[in-house]
Structure 1
Amino acid sequence: MARLAHDRHCRDIVVLELAELSPVALHFVIGTGTSDQQIRSVAREIEERGQEKRFKVLGRAGMQQGRWALVDFVDVVVHLFDEEYRNFYDLELLWGDAPKINWQRDRKPAAEDTGETEKL
């Protein structure tokens, strides 16, 4: 999911490992979009890609306004923000104890991703 957001020109993508910190999710994928249209479009594509791979979609939020969009795949929750909302909610600070995962290691386009971390 991080790769897909990156491939669709979202910026400052961070993947947080929450397994030891929260029962809510194993990972948060956080990214910044450049427009409300881009945020909505990328969130929809992430949801579609997850459904293609048979990931359960527990919920979604923020799709209409486009300043923040959330797609909850149970184990992985994707947050896409515009810059103002990302700074306001500051999930990286809120989850400051969470280790960051190097999702760009051996990076290949999302369309080619078949490894065990494909949810990220």
Structure 2
Amino acid sequence: MIQKEIDTDQLIAEIIRGIEEVKGDDISILDLRDIDNTVCNYFVICNGTSNTQVNAIVNSIQKIVSKSLKDKPWHVEGSENAEWVLIDYVHVVVHVFQKHIREFYDIEGLWGDAKTTTINSNY
């Protein structure tokens, strides 16, 4: 059980590294473990400025996680129009938005009971 937590922490760290590698903005981690009936333990949310950047973020995350942890997402959805791409790593689900789509859906507001950690990127 403890090993799984370490793996999840490592996965989140590598996801964030993938986002920062291509300058994704407004990174938040939502801890959903204390909320009943959730689909996963964590959401990692970020946004890009265009569909090109959203796809670059998604590709960067997948490449870094695959290379460092030998892990592939269980499912990826939304790459076609790249307004909101969901990358499902089972315990961690990554949401990569275009900024206006993120504001519209307000995932952080919907999951207001979650413990939220904001990552301040240095770029």
Give the TM-score normalised by the residue count of structure 1.
0.78
Compute the RMSD of aligned alpha carbons: 2.0
1:8 to 2:8 alignment: no
The residue number in structure 2 matching 1:46 is 61
- Deviations along 1:36-64, one digit per CA (max 9) or x if unpaired, are 00101110121222222123411001111
Match of 1:68?
84
Which residue of structure 2 aligns with residue 30 of structure 1? 45
Letter in 1 for 2:105: Y
Aligned residues: 106
Tell me which protein shows more helix as a share of its residues.
Answer: 2
Amino-acid identity (%): 33
Unaligned runs of 5+ in 1: 109-120
**Where in structure 2 are the equivalents of 1:109-120 lying within 5 Å?**
none
Structure 1: how far apart are the matches of 2:118 and 2:102? 20
> TM-score, normalization: structure 2?
0.76
